[in-house]
Copies of this chain bind each other. A is one copy, B any other.
Amino acid sequence: MEREQIHKMLRDMLRARAFEERAAEEYSKGNFTGFLHLYPGEEAVAVGVIHAAEPSDYIVTTYREHVHALVRGTPSKAIMAELFGRRDGVCKGMGGSMHLFDAERRFMGGYAIVGETYPIAIGVGYAVMLRKLPEAVICFFGDGAVNQGTFHESLNMAALWRLPVLFVCENNHYQIGTEIHRHSAVTDVYKRAAAYNIPAEKINGMDVLTVNRTTQRLLKQIRSGGGPYLLELETYRFRGHSMADPGTYRPAVEVHSFTTQDPISIAAHEIELNYPTTDQIAEVGPDCITLLTQHAQEKGQLIEQELALMKDDIAKEIDAAVDFALQSPQPTLEECLDDFNINQRTEILI
């Protein structure tokens, strides 16, 4: 892969991690509250996949979507301001962490009811199909979301009508505290696509280069009428499910090795209470950022100085985003009622 491309991806992964860790910090300071689901550990997924997308492709995501928006090009300050609920947020403070939308970038939203991304994605795909355009829709979802009825319903329709949708499973092995063997009778998500005649494969979601190359191939195929596809990416989240979750149900041994939990050998009392930080996990486990950094260094595509510079730039960008968010005004009740609430808008009542 090109040096420039690798740099872009590495930069985006570093930005992603920095953004998320800073979001956690601002949350802890009390700058906003609510549910905050962070992405550290899974960066290779969003970065690998979204770097393969054209601006004309569409993206549909879940509540764990800051990084997806960031990688898609939504300015970090507009995302941070949204987390702060401010008027300059990408959704003017109405959506918040779980509901980032960016129409300009065909970023079709973060959905917080598990399983909603499928119908939205096939809907956008249906429109693309009717218009006969060479566009693809990328639909993200977690391993837990696979058991929602909409998965089944929507994949069947996608296959029946050959809709241009790439279904991307971010398999981090957990549905909050429930490990995949305890929520799914078939734990290889890609195998479940056969029930709809949808081709599928599973790859290592920690390896951003493979993720990116695979996605490029698949999107090309989809844009040219190849029909839907399911791509399962194995990954791991370094933090708890959300800021409310210390993640203590995961045995330390698993956290350190990213192996899946053996449901039989784990009893409640065995759980390790000292949950490590993102940095500690990144150090011991396979970390997508470390992997790419090492790869680039080995291939001579990255020197220490470049990395330092990148990190520096990013730190400044994130600082600026927080400043921007802090200075952005609160939206007013009038704006909220008039602009976004259709029940007040009577002019369209033809």
Q: State which size class the interface on A falls in.
A: 20 to 34
Q: Is B149 a contact of A153 with CB atoms below 8 Å?
A: yes
* Contact of A184 with B by CB under 8 A: yes
Complex CA distance for A195 and B149, rounded to whole angstroms:
13
Contacts A192-B195, A196-B185 given; indicate if A153 touches B148 (C-beta within 8 A): yes
Complex CA distance for A156 and B182, rounded to whole angstroms:
11
Give, as a whole number of angstroms, the nearest-CB distance from A152 to chain B. 3
Residue of B nearest to A186 (CB): B197
Residues of B within 8 A of A152 (CB): 147, 149, 151-153
Complex CA distance for A160 and B148, rounded to whole angstroms:
15
Residues of B within 8 A of A185 (CB): 155-156, 159-160, 196-198
A153 partner, pick from B147, B182, B186, beta carbons under 8 A: B147
Complex CA distance for A156 and B191, rounded to whole angstroms:
14
- When all copies of this chain in the complex are counted, the total is 2
Residues of B within 8 A of A156 (CB): 147, 184-185
Residues of B within 8 A of A159 (CB): 185
Give, as a whole number of angstroms, the nearest-CB distance from A78 to chain B. 35
Residues of B within 8 A of A151 (CB): 152
Residues of B within 8 A of A149 (CB): 148-150, 152-153
* Contact of A194 with B by CB under 8 A: yes
Give, as a whole number of angstroms, the nearest-CB distance from A33 to chain B. 32
Residues of B within 8 A of A148 (CB): 149, 153
Give, as a whole number of angstroms, the nearest-CB distance from A276 to chain B. 30
Give, as a whole number of angstroms, the nearest-CB distance from A155 to chain B. 8
Complex CA distance for A197 and B155, rounded to whole angstroms:
18
Interface string of A282-299 (1 = CB under 8 A from B): 000000000000000000
Residues of B within 8 A of A147 (CB): 152-153, 156
Residues of B within 8 A of A150 (CB): 149
Complex CA distance for A197 and B188, rounded to whole angstroms:
11
Residues of B within 8 A of A184 (CB): 156, 160
Contacts A149-B149, A153-B148 given; indicate if A191 touches B186 (C-beta within 8 A): no
Complex CA distance for A162 and B36, rounded to whole angstroms:
35
22 contacts between A and B (CB under 8 A): A147-B152, A147-B153, A147-B156, A149-B149, A149-B150, A149-B152, A149-B153, A152-B152, A152-B153, A155-B185, A156-B185, A159-B185, A160-B182, A160-B183, A160-B184, A160-B185, A185-B197, A186-B195, A186-B196, A186-B197, A191-B195, A192-B195
Seen from chain A, the residues whose Cβ lies within 8 Å of a Cβ on chain B are 147-153, 155-156, 159-160, 182-186, 191-192, 194-198
Starting from the known contacts A160-B183, A191-B195, 14 additional A-B residue pairs (CB-CB under 8 Å) come to A149-B152, A151-B152, A152-B152, A152-B153, A156-B184, A159-B185, A160-B184, A185-B196, A185-B198, A186-B195, A186-B196, A186-B197, A191-B194, A192-B195
In order of increasing CB-CB distance, the 9 nearest A-B pairs are A149-B149, A152-B152, A159-B185, A195-B195, A192-B195, A185-B196, A185-B197, A160-B185, A156-B185
